[in-house]
Amino acid sequence: MQCYTELTPPTAVTHSLSLPFVSATSNNLIVAKTSLLQIFSTKIISIEVEGPAGKDAAKREIAYDPTINDEDGLADSFLGDDSAMRVDRTKQTKLILVAEYTLSGTITSLVRIKTLSSKSGGEALLVGFRDAKLSLVEWDPQRPGISTISIHYYEQDDLQGNPWAPSLKDCVNYLSADPGSRCAALKFGARNLAILPFRQDEEDANMDDWDEEMDGPPPGDKTVFKTTNGDSKKEETPYGSSFVLRLPALDPNLTHPIHLAFLYEYREPTFGIICSATSPASSLLNERKDNLTYMVFTLDLHQRASTTILSVSGLPYDLFEVVPLPAPVGGALLVGYNELIHIDQSGKANGVGVNMFAKQSTSFALVDQSDLQMRLEGCKVGQLSIQNGEMIIILQTGELAILSFHVDGRSVSGLSVRRVSGEAGGSLIPGCVSSISSLGQNSFFIGSERADSIVLGWTRKSNQLSRRKSRLDLANEDDVLDEDEDEEDIDDDADDDLYGDGPSVTQASNGASQPDPSNTKAGDYIFSMHDSLVNIGPITDITLGSSNVYADEMEKSNFEGVTSELELAAAVGRDKAGAVAIVHRNIVPKVIGKFEFPEARGIWTMSAKRPTEKGLEASKEKSATSGDYGADAQYDRLMIVSKALPDGNEISDVYALTSANFEALTGTEFEPAAGPTIEAGTLGNGMRVIQVLKSEVRSYDGDLGLAQILPMYDDDTGAEPKIVSASFADPYLLLFRDDSSIFVAQCDDNNELEEIEREDDALLATKWLTGCLYDDTTGAFAPVQSDKGYKAKESVMMFLLSAGGALHIYALPDLSKAVYVAEGLCFVPPVLSADYAARRSAARETLAEILVADLGDEISTSPYLILRPSNDDLTIYEPFRMNSSSTSNTLSSTLHFLKIHNSHLAQNPDVAAEEIADEAQATMNEPMRAVASLGGYSAVFLPGGSPNFILKSSKSTPKIINLQGVGVRGMSSFHTEGCDRGFIYADVNGIARVAQLPPDTNFAELGVSLRKMTLHEDVHAIAYHPPMQCYVLGTSRPAEFELPKDIDYHREWAQEDIVFKPTMEKGFLKLINPTNWTVIQTIELDPSEVVMCVKTLNLEVSETTNERRQLVTVGTAITKGEDLATRGRIYVFDIVNVIPEPDRPETNKKLKEIAREDIPRGAVTAVSEIGTQGFMLVAQGQKCMVRGLKEDNSLLPVAFMDMNCYVTTMKELPGTGLCVFGDIIKGIWFAGYTEEPYKMILFGKSSKNMEIVVADLLPDGKELHIVAADSNCNLHVLQYDPEHPKSLHGQILLHRTTFALGGHLPTTMTLLPRTKAPSLLPPSPDAMDIAADATIPEHEILITSTTGSISLLSPLSESQYRRLSTLASHLTNTLYHACGLNPRAYRVDRDAPDGMVGSRTVVDGSMLMRWGELGSQRKSEVAGRVGVDVEEVRDDLVALMGGLGYL
């Protein structure tokens, strides 16, 4: 059986919503990525941009653009040239991830609900799922995370009505909520509406117009009674009982509901719905023109009844969405393919047609703006300006347009649309968007399934002279001006709204009625990009290429040993966002220098300051050089290296750093023979270099003049304990000694080290294993949380781990009492608090080291507690504060630690042989190292046998990513002119490297190394050509389509004269050289010819010599509309060396066409190698043919087989002739090919028709499985077993199991060899049998999906399957599942017949990956139930994750 594991999370954003969620005042963004729910907060940062004042329009509120008009130019010309080079400040909205949850469901809707009370004070979130489930969740600050209030099911069969009603998954299910949060409506099934009421204070419903004289006293006393009688109120749920309405029962017109939404400004919950009594269709426009009706219903939640209050009929057939509009405009905007129509509360309609088809498709009165030539299919409309109600329209192509309303008092008299020009940011969005959410003032989030999702900001050009200030004033009052101007805008617009048409609205509407092509007049918007979320969905095709491609020999020698064998290259994105994504599982460092350094053990670099002149006081020096100009901003100058010489002696050396190199430094008072360095760093604000040796601490000045020696000598006992580890945090130094005692020293104003007295008896009596110092600049561990800052000396916290496994925190310099003690740290519980207690018999984790460090990037960093056990499987805790109910608000009652989900297991725990001898010493020699600035990240590095970085960006949780290469002994940051924010490390092979994190690479958001090269066009297929080491891509661009003029039997096509033409894809072949990822050749295909598949095949090119060559085979489809048959074409290309273009050495390769074959009927949808003689298998239309390349470059067919409807996928098990075909309607066929004689034979078929999207063969030992995915996102595992009686001698493929993937539709399957992960367990008695089995090559299937997730299907042995399926079952029962969803039900397709599900299901790897969330006590309990120990479970999980060692 198999296990399905997600390697990377989905990245395509399907839904988004902004609301105050985490608290009443927060500004949160909820992002849904199919089955991943992410909660972000927003942070506005100010960025300085130096340069000419008028270069970039997006930098200023008043943009200087010489083309606006002369008046603007005059105002700016008085200031001279100096002012043009001032520093511009621009505000940007950035996203910061608060939490993320993988859900067992496919999200279809997000709405906000304001409940009467919530744990956080914020609003609640109602999440709708594809199978008609609703989850109401809120934020729980007590254990920071989402808490499920309730879950509502509407998927029961009796709700679906008649037996022939379509199934749930075939209908569009969506959710809409009343703006007053009185109820939410779920439209599910074909015509069902479920109403879920929410309790609100009845008194606050529109009390504005209450008149005491007429209506009597306001009913305020009831509320007082309610709150005093608190018990009964607590019992109440925030929601009432829900009910289901059948839409046709409300009105006969609702037979075909199209879209509904709740409207603003109504006393009762009221929704508008577009519907029709007959089904709308473009093909029936002559009979059914304008058959849609817009109706408004108001709901009575108590009576469960509704009333029609408005009906507008005769609307165009192509309307597809209702967009409710708040005041001042009000009413609803109806969006169609060719027009926009506004209907106000009285039923008055105004519309605008945006292309020439609006007139032809409707008789409805529309203002004609057909010169805009806009297509509104798939567009999104969002609120831009609350003041004048302007809306933003994002078209399917990503272009922006502004919709303005002409408002006369309170009624709308007209609409107008204008495009946003490219200079004003109109082309920032590369393609179709899926959601749009306002993030407060002047920015909104735009989610996309096809491109990166972005935060778009906007500014407006000022248009009133009275508000104009001189440029110098602007420069001085930068921040103030922004706020003032915004306030004035709001006031003015409020007045305009009150007194009718004000100047700013007139300006917008007048400007809009004559569309201005330049869009640079005053009062218009300028858009700019503030932030983005990376997306690699949809993944269209993948290939594996060699990652050892270098520009020159120098680069090759530098990267030797730190590159993986292969890289995963994927064709991702759609439209203008089409790109090639390069994925590595590990970090491949960009090596700047490489040196033989076999004796290096520990490395420390530092930016020590040179001694200053005596005239400058020490304290002044400290304050003057702190902050941006202090030690942080300086380049590293010195490097201390601890060495182990071949003769067994250990010494330390000091080096001076050059730009990307280092050289020995002599003539200083540094003494190499003093012994090995344990730790080194700077104190005294960079004035003192501290070297910690085994028996003493040495302090040097910036020129390495010896300033002080601090010996380890106990006056009372006369003992001389040896130092084993140390930690620095200016101005303190913490030492751990081999007698388990600690020593704390402080650097005084004269930069002298002196010991701090250990007043606490417990501090002396306890045995301490390890610990660290942390400079708490943010106040995360402050005794009392407040907004004020802390003095530097008071913010250093000391974290200690006792031999008993307890965590003690001291606030330096006070060593009299620990401010926080957590005894349960060694049990690694999910939430660690001071009062956590485990059972006495509970299993403990053996912790070797703890570290508290900042993780994050330049936008946000926060502290984390990192635990390193003996097997290097790190545990990461995030501290959080909780206001306790008790009166004492001490640190021990408010500070808790939440365990972060982390599925990373150390892949290679075996270390070099010489280091195993002294294990304790090895750990101490390789402590975890916090790096404050590593290529923009605040990171932590873990050396040892499985070296890795812990990285976190503002938009991700902390991720642990391995460093490519062998084990690492010592590592340090390396910040010089030639290696900015880099690092230096020495590996166990004796090689030291100066390196940086690779540029333009994303690590933290996916947990893998990801680099994207955008091509700005659709990428359909990708293949790698190994002999020439380059990639071939099939791409397409939209091109205008004209009907063929030369068709005899359609003479009327020649007369076609149309301005607004439809578009078709036009194909291209591109050759890419991976040395610098540039396109070096583009081949244009015929009009309407699109690339369907590109593969590199090993073909026989000569029948006489039987020579084989790797050739690129391309299959295409030529489609010219639905009236002409589709034709196909096969191309065979070789890649040859040519003379490169001048100054472009990478253009030395070219595609050379060898063969071309036209297929008269049907497209070429798939190609593959077949057999052992170098032939190719081609799926062409309804046939599949085996073809051979002849000497005359023709493709000769030698065997064929008739296929069904349309072959979507075709794979051969390499070299065997066994192949599988997937059909879009008929399911799976399994066939074989023989070479003597040439013949294709059908072996077996799937027993049921399935809509197969992609399939592959998976050999598992002596069994042959076929894995297929259908269009309902189900994974089917079939088996060819002719000896089984049910298979009818193999004619029917046995259906072993079906596994639901949720909303992740697979796009490719690739059979890959599986590598063995190193085991920590001792060899078992039957090791000989295992070794014999190990000679059979193992395989697994890599699956990619439209949502951007990459996953793995791995075969399991019988014993592994039993262990892991039992483990997954126990974890399902044990762990918390977000939104109250059921993981078991999620993995079973509701509509699949019982026979297809099977009893032995695929193991859900996403459950197994949550194994690390358990504490050590629960781990041993669950492992005991499975029947193994914790180490065996860990070993199984490592084997599962470690199969792709070559990536």
Average pLDDT over residues 544-570: 89
Has this prediction a pTM greater than 0.85?
yes
pLDDT digits (tens, 9 = 90+) for 1213-1245: 998 889 999 999 999 999 999 988 899 999 999
Amino acid letter, 31: V
CA distance 688 to 746: 12
pLDDT digits (tens, 9 = 90+) for 1043-1088: 888 888 888 888 888 888 899 999 999 999 999 899 999 999 999 9
pLDDT digits (tens, 9 = 90+) for 781-820: 887 765 444 444 468 999 999 998 999 999 988 888 889 9
pLDDT of residue 497: 42
pLDDT digits (tens, 9 = 90+) for 12-57: 999 999 999 999 999 999 999 999 999 999 999 988 765 443 344 3
Locate the DSSP E strands across 1009-1148: 1009-1014, 1018-1025, 1030-1040, 1063-1073, 1078-1084, 1089-1100, 1108-1118, 1127-1137
The torsion angles phi and psi of 338, rounded to 5 degrees, stand at -120, -5
The interaxial angle of helices 1416-1426 and 1358-1374, nearest 10 deg, is: 130
Q: Which of 924, 569, 864 is nearest to 725 (CA)?
A: 924
pLDDT digits (tens, 9 = 90+) for 1179-1208: 999 999 999 998 888 899 999 999 989 999
pLDDT of residue 87: 52
Average pLDDT over residues 717-738: 88
CA distance 802 to 681: 25
Average pLDDT over residues 773-779: 89
CA distance 600 to 617: 39
Q: Please return the burial class of 1146, using the count of CB atoms within 10 Å of its CB with bins 0-12, 13-18 and 19+.
A: middle
Q: Which of 458, 358, 374 is nearest to 419 (CA)?
A: 374
Residue 75's H or E segment, with its range, is helix 70-77
pLDDT tops 70 at residue 85: no
Question: Hey, what are 118's tokens?
Answer: 């919530």
pLDDT digits (tens, 9 = 90+) for 302-350: 998 899 999 999 999 999 999 999 988 999 999 999 999 999 999 999 9
Is residue 829 within 8 Å of 837, Cβ to Cβ? no
Terminal Cα distance for the chain, rounded: 25
pLDDT tops 90 at residue 296: yes
What does DSSP say about strands 15-19 and 1238-1246: parallel, antiparallel, or unpaired? unpaired
pLDDT tops 80 at residue 485: no
Tokens 């890599």 sit at which residue?
1342
pLDDT digits (tens, 9 = 90+) for 1105-1137: 889 999 999 999 999 888 889 999 999 999 999
- Sequence-distant (6+) residues with CB within 8 A of 145 are 99, 101, 139, 898
Top-confidence range, 459-463, 836-840, 1281-1285: 1281-1285
Q: Which residue has the higher pLDDT, 1151 or 1331?
A: 1151
Question: Hey, what are 1068's tokens?
Answer: 């291209």
Q: Please return the burial class of 57, using the count of CB atoms within 10 Å of its CB with bins 0-12, 13-18 and 19+.
A: buried
Question: Hey, what are 772's tokens?
Answer: 């660290």
Q: Tell me the average pLDDT of the chain.
A: 84
Question: Hey, what are 1084's tokens?
Answer: 């244009």
List Cα–Cα distances, 1405 to 6, 1357, 1380, in angstroms: 7, 15, 19
CA distance 145 to 98: 9
**Between the CA atoms of 360, 361, 362 and 366, what dihedral angle is there, to the nearest 10 degrees?**
-70
Average pLDDT over residues 465-473: 40
- Sequence-distant (6+) residues with CB within 8 A of 1417 are 827, 829, 838, 839, 842, 843
- Sequence-distant (6+) residues with CB within 8 A of 163 are none
Three-state SS for 1320? Answer: coil
CA distance 80 to 63: 17
pLDDT of residue 628: 38
Helices in 351-391 by DSSP H: which ranges? 357-361
How is the beta sheet containing 15-19 ordered, strand by strand?
Answer: 15-19, 28-33, 36-50, 87-102
pLDDT of residue 1316: 77
pLDDT of residue 500: 39
Is residue 398 within 8 Å of 447, Cβ to Cβ? no
What does DSSP say about strands 1195-1202 and 600-606: parallel, antiparallel, or unpaired? unpaired
Share of the chain above pLDDT 90, in %: 54
pLDDT digits (tens, 9 = 90+) for 666-702: 888 888 888 899 999 998 888 899 999 999 999 998 8
Residue 1308's H or E segment, with its range, is strand 1306-1313
Helices in 1223-1357 by DSSP H: which ranges? 1327-1334
Helices in 298-410 by DSSP H: which ranges? 357-361
pLDDT digits (tens, 9 = 90+) for 610-640: 776 544 444 434 333 333 334 445 788 899 9
Helices in 696-776 by DSSP H: which ranges? 761-765
Q: Which of 678, 606, 689 is nearest to 972 (CA)?
A: 606
Question: Hey, what are 109's tokens?
Answer: 């809707």
Ramachandran category for residue 435: left, alpha or beta (phi over 0 → left; psi -120 to 50 → alpha): beta
HEC string of 1189-1213 equals ECCCCCEEEEEEEECCCCEEEEEEC
Tokens 């402080």 sit at which residue?
746
Average pLDDT over residues 999-1011: 93
DSSP, res 1402: P
User: What DSSP string runs through 149-183?
Assistant: EEEEE---GGGG-STTSPPGGGS--EEEE-TTSSE
**Between the CA atoms of 1315, 1317, 1323 and 1328, what dihedral angle is there, to the nearest 10 degrees?**
0
pLDDT of residue 761: 79
List Cα–Cα distances, 498 to 206, 388, 489, 501, 1191, in angstroms: 20, 11, 14, 9, 84
Which region among 317-331, 423-437, 901-915, 922-936 has the lowest average model confidence (pLDDT)? 901-915
CA distance 588 to 580: 18
pLDDT of residue 720: 85
pLDDT of residue 1093: 96
Q: Which of 1339, 1341, 1352 is nearest to 1309 (CA)?
A: 1341
CA distance 564 to 588: 8
What does DSSP say about strands 861-869 and 875-881: parallel, antiparallel, or unpaired? antiparallel
Average pLDDT over residues 548-554: 84
Helices in 315-371 by DSSP H: which ranges? 357-361
How is the beta sheet containing 292-300 ordered, strand by strand?
Answer: 256-262, 270-276, 292-300, 305-315
CA distance 475 to 1068: 50
Tokens 């879209």 sit at which residue?
259
Question: Hey, what are 201's tokens?
Answer: 């204070």
Average pLDDT over residues 713-728: 84
Question: Hey, what are 510's tokens?
Answer: 């007048």
The torsion angles phi and psi of 1376, rounded to 5 degrees, stand at -80, 135
